[in-house]
Amino acid sequence: VRALRDLAVNEVTALTNLPLAPDRMYQNAAAWSPDGEWLAFIAPVGARSSELFGVQPGMFAPERWTNLSAEAGPIRINGQATGELSWSPDGSKIAFWVIPLGDDPLDAPTQPAVIHLLDVESGEVTPLCGYQTLNHTPNPPRLVWSPDSSALAFADDTGGTKGVLIAVNAESGEFHALTSGVA
């Protein structure tokens, strides 16, 4: 079980150790906000799905930030790597990949992954653009923000012999291939 623990206290008590979620492969990504105020993490929900949660040191319980499986059925958020949630540098948004599972297992989904953005303040979750990738297991492409939080970039294998570097406008969702051939 993953937990948030106050390391300034020597003794582990209920008030210094907050259990977060079971540590399950494909359901355990996490990342601290740029200001260190929030820990965003993925946790299992139900038998096969996962959702995004947030917690601050000192809270008594985490907050559930998404409810994507209510609309889409079982989903997987991101992949096997534990540090792949991507906070914008200004701390206002989190970018992540959503993969519908249907009847597929967590480690072998057949549906494409789509980038989603969570607006941390409003709680609104939206698919970012029409870009989809089947290159998501064990991990989808790593999402990297521009320093001004206006765009995301990632490299993807488009199925040919060459990969591509793609930039996505975080407001409009418009995406462009910046290169042809990424190794």
Whole-number pLDDT of residue 46: 86
State the pLDDT at residue 164.
Answer: 87
Which pLDDT does position 102 carry in this prediction?
92
Gap between the Cα atoms of 78 and 30, Å rounded? 10
Q: Are strands 144-145 and 2-5 parallel, antiparallel or unpaired?
A: unpaired
How far is residue 154's CA from residue 166's CA, in Å, rounded to a whole number?
5
pLDDT at 67 over 90: yes
pLDDT 10s digits, 104-155: 999 999 999 999 999 999 999 999 988 899 999 999 999 999 999 999 999 9
Please state, rounded to an integer, the average pLDDT across all residues of the chain: 90
In this predicted structure, the answer to whether residue 2 has a pLDDT above a threshold of 80 is: yes
Mean pLDDT value of segment 27-44: 96
> What is the model's pTM?
0.92
How many Cα atoms occupy the beta-carbon half-sphere of 7 within 13 Å? 0
Q: Quick: pLDDT tens for 73-109.
A: 999 999 999 888 999 999 999 999 999 999 999 999 9
